[in-house]
Amino acid sequence: MIANDPYAELERRFARLSAVHRACAILNWDRSAMMPEGASEDRADQLATLGVIAHGMISAPDMPELLARAEEAARSLDPWRAANLREMRRSWVHESALPAELVEARTRATSACEMAWREARKNKDFTSLLPTLSEVLAVMRRVGEAKAAALGTSLYDALLDEFEPGGRSARIDTLFAELRGFLPDLLGRVMEHQGRAPKPLVLDGPFPVAQQRKLGEELIRLIGFDFSHGRLDVSEHPFTGGTADDVRITTRYDEADFARALMGTLHETGHGLYEAGLPRAWRRQPVGNARGMVLHESQSLLMEMQACRSDAFLAFAAPRMRAAFGKDGPAWTADNIHRVYTWVVPGFIRVDADEVTYPLHIMLRYRLERALLAGDLALADLPGAWNEGMRELLGIVPTDAAVGCLQDIHWPDGGWGYFPTYTLGALAAAQLFGAARKAHPGLLEAIGKGDFAPLLGWLRANVHGKGSLAGTDEILVEATGAPLGTAAFKAHLESRYLSA
C-alpha cells in the first residue's frame, strides 16, 4: 500500500529511523564513557540488532517506489523539503546497497575489534589485533564494493562518501599535493624561526581532575555549551556523541598535564556546538543532520585551533587557569601559555600533533588505508609501512605499535575513509574563521574578553543552522566566497608560526 502523499509518508518513516539512530548514538556513547568492560558482547548484540532493524526500515520493499513518486512531485516542495528528499535518497542508496547480513557483520566485526584494540594498544601488541582487524578489513572491502556499485564510484570514494557526501579522492589528492609541496618546507622554516624564540616553560602539575573538570566546564559554558542539553564526561578516546538535543562530549584527563585535556575539551565543544545548532525544525529528518565530517571537523578545529589557541583567547584564559590551579610565576603568563599551545614538534601521536605536522599524519593514514583496501599492502605489513611513512613524512620512527599504527580507534571501529576529513576540516576551519573575522572585524577582540557570541552567531547562521540543506562546497562558497582550498590554511600557518 502506497500512501497518498508519498513525501509525508517518507517523513514519517525517516522520523522513526532517526529515533533508532539517536538511540544508537546514546548507546554508543555509553559504551565508551560508562559501560563496564564485561558488557561488551551484550552491547554489541544490542547495537547489531538495532542496526539490522534500521536497515530493514530503510530498505523496505516499497521504499524505491515511495522515493520515486515523491521525486516526481518534488517541484512542489519548498527548498528544505526538497533537500530533505534528496538526503533521504542518499541514505537509501547507502543503506540499500548493503544486504542485511553485511550490516550485521560490520557491526559485529567492529564491536569485537574495538574491544580487542583496547587490549592490543595497552599491550603494544599489533599481532593480537590481526585476527579481528583482518575481519574488519574484509568486511569493509565488501561494504566498499557494494556501495561503489550503487554510487558509481571507486571503492575508496564509496567509503569516503559515507562520511563526506560527495567527497572524492581525486579532489583530496589535489589538495594534499598542495600541502605536501608546502608543509615540509614550512616545517623547516618554523623550526628555524622557533629555535630563535624562548622555549616554553613547563606548566608544572599535578592538576587534580576535579579542578580540571571545573575549569573546562567554566570555559565551555562561556563559549556556549548548554549543559541542559549536554554532558561532559571521560572516555579513553575523546569524542562527541549523543544527539542534537543531548550532546555528549568526552575528554581524557591527565593529572600531570591539564593543557591537553583542556584543549581536547574545547575541540569537542566545537563539534558539540555544531550538533546543538542544527536546525531545530528538522531534528528528526535527514536534512537536519550535520552536512558531513569535513564541516564537522572544521567546527572542532575552528574552535580549538583558530579561536582557542589564539593570543586573544589565551590572554583571557590564562588568569582563569592560574586561579583554577592556584598557580603563578613566569610559566603562567599568557605569553608562555600561548607558546605551550603553539609549539611545533614532530611527534608520534596524531591527536597530540601541532597544526603544522598534523596534516602529515593524515597523509600517512590516507595513503595506508587506500593501500590496505586496494590489497596493495598486507595487514601484517602495516607496522613496517607505518614506520617507513613516519620516517619519510615526519623524520621520526615510532618506538612501539602503541605510539604507531595502534594509536587510533578508526580502523578497528570501521572508520575507513574518515581520516582525510580531519585535514579537509582544518582547511575549512581556516577559511571559515577568516570569513567570520571579515564579517565581524571585532571578533577576536570579543573572544579576548570571553565573548563568543559574535563567532557563534556567525557560525549558527552560516554553518550550523543549514544542516544538510546544501553541499559542503555550496555552504563554503556562500559563507566564504570560495570552495574548499588551501590558501586560508597556508596563510594562517604562516601568520601564526612565522611572524613575531
- Residues with a known catalytic role: 268
56 or 395, CB closer to a copy of itself? 56
Near a copy of itself by CB under 8 A, which window of 21-29, 70-78, 418-426, 432-440?
Answer: 21-29
d(CA 97, CA 113): 24
Near a copy of itself by CB under 8 A, which window of 16-24, 173-181, 387-395, 412-420?
Answer: 16-24
15 or 73, CB closer to a copy of itself? 15
Among 173, 192, 226, 236, binds a copy of itself (CB under 8 A): 226
Angle at 225 between CA 37 and CA 164, to 5 degrees: 70
Give least dist CB 181 to a copy of itself, A.
Answer: 47
Q: Is 166 helix (H, G, I), strand (E, B) or coil?
A: coil
d(CA 474, CA 289): 16
Instruction: Give CA separation, 229 vs 225, 262, 330, 460, in Å.
Output: 8, 20, 39, 17
User: Which residues 6+ apart lie within 8 Å of 412 measured at CB?
Assistant: 110, 113, 114, 116, 117, 129, 132, 133, 136
Instruction: Give CA separation, 276 vs 219, 231, 239, 289, 367, in Å.
Output: 17, 12, 15, 11, 34
User: Which residues 6+ apart lie within 8 Å of 298 measured at CB?
Assistant: 425, 426, 427, 428, 429, 432, 463
Per CB under 8 A, contacts with a copy of itself among 417-446 are none
**Site membership for a copy of itself, residue 100 (CB under 8 A):** no
Q: In what order do the strands lie in the sheet with 246-251?
A: 230-234, 246-251, 240-243
Among 3, 23, 318, 446, binds a copy of itself (CB under 8 A): 23
Among 32, 243, 423, 472, binds a copy of itself (CB under 8 A): 243
Give least dist CB 272 to a copy of itself, A.
Answer: 12
Give least dist CB 115 to a copy of itself, A.
Answer: 13
**Site membership for a copy of itself, residue 39 (CB under 8 A):** yes
Among 284, 322, 327, 440, binds a copy of itself (CB under 8 A): 284
Give least dist CB 427 to a copy of itself, A.
Answer: 33
Among 1, 38, 170, 198, binds a copy of itself (CB under 8 A): 38
**Residue 137's closest CA among 145, 464, 433?**
145
Q: How many chain residues interact with a copy of itself (CB under 8 A)? A: 36
231 or 320, CB closer to a copy of itself? 231
Cβ atoms of 167 and 294 within 8 Å: the answer is: yes
Look up residue 31 and give its three cell numbers: 559504551
**Site membership for a copy of itself, residue 281 (CB under 8 A):** no
34 or 323, CB closer to a copy of itself? 34
**Site membership for a copy of itself, residue 245 (CB under 8 A):** yes
**Site membership for a copy of itself, residue 288 (CB under 8 A):** no
**Site membership for a copy of itself, residue 34 (CB under 8 A):** yes
Q: Is 241 helix (H, G, I), strand (E, B) or coil?
A: strand
d(CA 408, CA 411): 7
Site track 41-60 with a copy of itself (rule: CB under 8 A), x = hit:
xxx-xxxxxx-xx-------
Among 26, 259, 439, 477, binds a copy of itself (CB under 8 A): 26
Q: Is the peptide bond before 184 cis (omega within 30 degrees of 0)?
A: no
Strands 240-243 and 246-251, how do they pair? antiparallel
**Site membership for a copy of itself, residue 20 (CB under 8 A):** yes
The residues binding a copy of itself (CB under 8 A) are 16, 19-20, 22-23, 26-27, 30, 34-39, 41-43, 45-50, 52-53, 226-231, 243, 245-246, 283-284
